[in-house]
Amino acid sequence: MKNMKITSCLSSIVPPAAVAAAAVLASTAAAEQTDAQRMGAEEMNKGATLAAPDHSTGGSFKVLVYGNSIALHGPAPQIGWTNNWGMAASAREKDFAHLLVADLEAKRGEKADLRIRNLASLERNFKVDLSDFAELAEDVAWAPDYVVIAIGENAKNLDDESKPIYKDFLVSLARPLVNCASKPLVVMRSPFWRNVPKAECTAAAAAEVGAIYVDASPLGDVAENKAIGLFAHNGVANHPGDLGMRRLADLILAGFSSAAH
């Protein structure tokens, strides 16, 4: 009852139009929020470029990973992260990209080249023309044998207008790789932090280009898959820890295996 009285008092002071406008602004702010912001990770990927350090050279096959801070994040001491690999793994060899490559090397009995790109800047502005980015064309020419597209956490929440735009962005990103000379196996992973519209767009894009879709959101729902308690900064702690990274790698490897049979 007290809340009703307060609301009644406010409505007599604040014009109804102003109340309605405030509600619209609040709704818009929530709609534009990213999953990274929701998880306290809005400080991630600042200054991230599309640079792709190679894991090794002279390998017999090639693995390309498109991700964000979960795949590769440089040192950020101000938030308690001092490493240069997938946040928040305890070591380079324990992030999902390096675990995946190690599994593929063991399965094939030969060494791989690994290329990782942090695409956070593209996620945040998924209306960009991808043909403007020479790095992406270089990856197509590189002709990888395996491709992982594991993005979405930094994209703004989707509404009916932006969903087809985001889906087309994913299609534009994946199709040239699916069709490149090496005809790679391509896995497209939903966001780790559950977001149904983004997952649906990722699945639809994968189906459209002939890629393999895997749903990582059940992993992100489980606290033990995160680095909670290991980092003071909530944004870092909400990233997958060693167990979550292992399970992400297993999920992606299972996707590759399903397509190979």
Per-residue model confidence (pLDDT) at position 54: 60
* CA 195 vs CA 13, 154, 233: distances in Å: 39, 11, 22
In degrees rounded to 5, what are phi and psi of residue 18? -70, -40
Model confidence pLDDT, tens digit, residues 212-250: 999 999 999 999 999 999 999 999 999 999 999 999 999
| CA 136 – CA 107 distance, rounded (Å) | 28
Supply the pTM of this predicted model: 0.86
Considering the chain, what is the average pLDDT of its residues? 88
Give bridge partners of residue 228 from the DSSP assignment. Answer: 231
Structure tokens at 250: 């297993």
Model confidence pLDDT, tens digit, residues 139-163: 999 999 999 999 999 999 999 999 9
Per-residue model confidence (pLDDT) at position 48: 73
For the cut 90, the answer to whether the pLDDT of residue 3 exceeds it is no
- Residues 6 or more apart in contact with residue 93 via CB below 8 angstroms: 99, 102
* CA 78 vs CA 74, 202, 225, 236: distances in Å: 12, 33, 24, 11
Cβ 31 vs Cβ 24: under 8 Å: no
| CA 44 – CA 239 distance, rounded (Å) | 11
CATH number of 33-260: 3.40.50.1110
